[in-house]
Structure 1
Amino acid sequence: MSVWEQAAVAAVALGAFAQASTGMGFSLVAAPVLIAAFGPHRGVPMVLVLAVGASLLPLSRDWRHARPRDAGRLLLPAVLGTPVAAWLLGAMDTRVLAAAAGCGVLVGVALLGRGVRSSFLNTPAGAWLTGLGSAGLNVIGGVGGPPVGLYAANAGWPARETRATLHTFFLVQNLVTAAVLGFALPPWPAVAALAAGAAAGMVSAPRLPATATRVGVLAVSCAGGLTLVGSALT
């Protein structure tokens, strides 16, 4: 494997750990490195396939704690917006797509890091804007998490319900996005890394301080976003 492919395997393991322990973070951590290693047109579908597994594994244990109605409020605009976003963005140059994906990651990290809160997000219009924004970012670079993370942080759900609801949303969203964009099978080391990272996250979730996990995810996500933007500009 090349150096980039080795880095991608490590990012998949770390992203799966973050996803299982916090409810989000797989795509934020893994997508920039996977796209840099395999290119946007192969890397994004690969991220989506792996992201399905990153949500499915922990959800198999915590599905009873999900909030289906809240997940559905976000999924409706996300599902409807995905084919539209794919059509609008499909003709763009791959370098532009890579740079846009990296910028999307960095903007999401900045917003999440600042703990942005808004009463608007509690309205139906806020849910639609969140779902549509997530759909666009997911099509661009498989990084639809930041808008939904902001929505969940604003909602004030209990930690276990937050994780299960986010897993539900990302599982369905990534399946739909993969169906629209196409599938790309990841290499077996990435699949093994996904399983190991998810297992570790599921074991560690009740014991890890939420603040430490969140800071680590944001730091790695920021580094990945900067790397993706840099690779697109060189």
Structure 2
Amino acid sequence: MTLPELLAVAAVALGAFAQAATGMGFSLIAAPVLIAVFGPHRGVPMVLVLAVVSSLLPLSRDWRHARQRDVGRLLLPAILGTPVAAWALRAVDTRLLALAAGCGVLIGVVLLARGVRSSFLSSPKGAWLAGLGSAGLNVIGGVGGPPIGLYAANAGWAVRDTRATLHAFFLVQNLVTAAVLGFVLPPWTTVAALAFGAAAGMVSAPRLHARAVRAGVLAVSCAGGVTLLGSALA
């Protein structure tokens, strides 16, 4: 196994851990590395397939806590916006896609780190904006989490409800996006790493301090976004 492949496996395991423990983070952590290693056109569909599994495993335990109405409110614009974004971006150069994905990750990290809060984000119009923004970022680089994370941060949900709601949203969104872009089977090593990371995250979730997990996710996501930008500009 080459060094880039080892980095991809490590990123998938860490991303799956963060996803299971917090409800988001898999794509933010794993997508920049997988896209840098496999290229945007293979890496993005690969991220989406793995992201579906990373949400499915913890949701199988916590599905009762998912806020179904909020999931539907966010999914409607995300699903409607996905084919439009895919059509609009189908002929864009791969280097530009990687550059856009890296910028999307870094912008999302900065906003989340600053704890952006707004009454607009928790309104129906805010849900549409979050869903459409997530659809666009998911098509560009498999990183649709930041807009949904901002919405959830403003919603004031309980921790367990937040995790389950995010898992349910990302499960359906990534499945729809993968169906639009096409499925790419990931290497078996990344699947094994995902299973290990998700299991560790599910066991650790009740014991982890939310602020510590969030800070770690943002730090690794920032490093991944910088790496993706470097690969696009090299």
The sequence identity of aligned pairs, in percent, is 82
Per-residue CA deviation, residues 10-65 of structure 1 (Å, 9 max, x unaligned), is 00000000000000000000000000000000000000000000000000000000
Give the alignment of 1:1-234 within 5 angstroms.
Answer: 1-234=1-234
Cα distance, 1:114 vs structure 2: 0.2
What is the deviation of 1:190? 0.2
4+ aligned runs moved over 2 Å, structure 1: none
> TM-score under structure 1 normalisation?
0.99
- The secondary structure found in structure 2 opposite 1:91 is coil
Q: Provide the rounded CA distance (Å) in 2 between the counterparts of 1:47 and 1:122.
A: 28
- Alpha-carbon distance, 1:4 to partner: 1.1
Q: How far apart, in 2, do the equivalents of 1:135 and 1:79 lie?
A: 7
Cα displacement (A) at 1:121: 1.1
TM-score (normalizing by structure 2): 0.99
Output the amino acid matched with 1:228.
L
How far apart, CA to CA, are the structure 2 residues paired with 1:144 and 1:218? 15
Deviations 1:86-108 (A, max 9, x none): 00111100000001000000000
1:229 CA displacement: 0.3
1:64-84 residue CA offsets vs partner (Å, 9 max, x unmatched):
000010010000000000000
Distance (whole Å) between structure 1 residues aligned to residue 117 and residue 66 of structure 2: 22
Stretches of structure 1 that go unaligned for 5 or more consecutive residues are: none
Q: Distance in 2 between matches of 1:123 and 1:205?
A: 29
Deviation of residue 141 (structure 1)?
0.2
User: How many residues are matched?
Assistant: 234
CA RMSD of aligned residues (A): 0.4
